[in-house]
Structure 1
């Protein structure tokens, strides 16, 4: 005689817990986008409609919650990390697509990018995420400006990649927009002129 299957109580609890965690993460993301970076525990619980005790049943620490919210936010904007038609077109076209894509990315991720960089000094999760993102973006530079790199002596190629990455980093965008009050078009102009000069310097001289 076989027994009737028992209700999947555990699965139901897990599903409720997952929904609760997602609600908290979405609340944190919304608060960041509104300018609370990072939000306080009270702000997070009020926005999510839960108690502090419930929040800590979902997440071991606030750092764990904020790291998961940061990862979810970056995943949401994952498409902005890509460069359209990477590596194709004339040098001018590639410079324009590269600068446009980086500006769109930074405008999208700014609240969490600032927070993540601040926490990278004392939190290994944030440091690892930042290191991985920078490595990925450096590889994109190598792919997108492959023609310029091929024209350079091997010992100069890493310097070219480093120059492009540093020039168009989030830190550069943040300084231009805040310290120099540049609009998106202003940042675009600065970067295009500088990248064009780098690319022209890397191109072989005509015979």
Structure 2
């Protein structure tokens, strides 16, 4: 075998390995999005079309898989919250922010629930979730710069009202429509920020 053929064989193996790794990450995310909030390594392997030994060649444990999955979707996840119309009166900006967050929360609901279900188990999930919470808080400051001058209790209340946990409670536990949930959150935020 020539040097070129040997290099091509190595490159081919590397490409196959990268494809398998990506297939495993995408399978884990797809299962969560479909409602399998805590998929097993076997379920993920089956979905990815790889053997369980191949799974553990790429990922020594589930935590390393979750880290790779976070790296894979972080940009698209964050993009759901960024952007949007950030001009207008305080009331208009509250309306825009709540609607933007509502669309994002609807899109990532099962991924977040899967994370919640395993926070107790994996340090990487706790770290990533804390980073996401800091990012959401900073982004809300960008939507509503007035938050910098509200009392601390008010600010903490606003973060709670704007959270995924509040959204999920309204939509799932209380069975409210998306529109009704948006209206409740907007009314609460307005009562804290506009009606003072």
TM-score under structure 2 length normalisation: 0.88
**2: CA distance, partners of 1:112 / 1:70:** 10
Q: Which residue of 2 aligns with 1:46?
A: 46
Q: Which residue of 2 aligns with 1:111?
A: 110
TM-score under structure 1 length normalisation: 0.84
Q: Which residue of 1 aligns with 2:77?
A: 77
Q: Which residue of 1 aligns with 2:154?
A: 160
Out of 178, 181, 203, the residue aligned to residue 172 of structure 2 is: 178
Equivalent residue pairs, number: 194
Give the root-mean-square deviation of aligned CA atoms.
Answer: 2.1
Which residues of structure 2 form unaligned runs of 5+? none
Asked which structure has the greater CA Rg, the reply is 1
Which residues of structure 1 form unaligned runs of 5+? 203-207
Deviations 1:78-119 (A, max 9, x none): 311214133x21112101111101111111111110121232
**Pairwise CA distance, 1:161:** 2.7
**2: CA distance, partners of 1:10 / 1:25:** 23
Does the aligned pair in 2 maintain the 1:141–1:164 contact within 8 Å? no
**1: CA distance, partners of 2:70 / 2:51:** 22
**Pairwise CA distance, 1:120:** 2.1
Does the aligned pair in 2 maintain the 1:77–1:108 contact within 8 Å? no
Q: Secondary structure at the match of 2:194?
A: helix
Q: Which residue of 2 aligns with 1:95?
A: 94
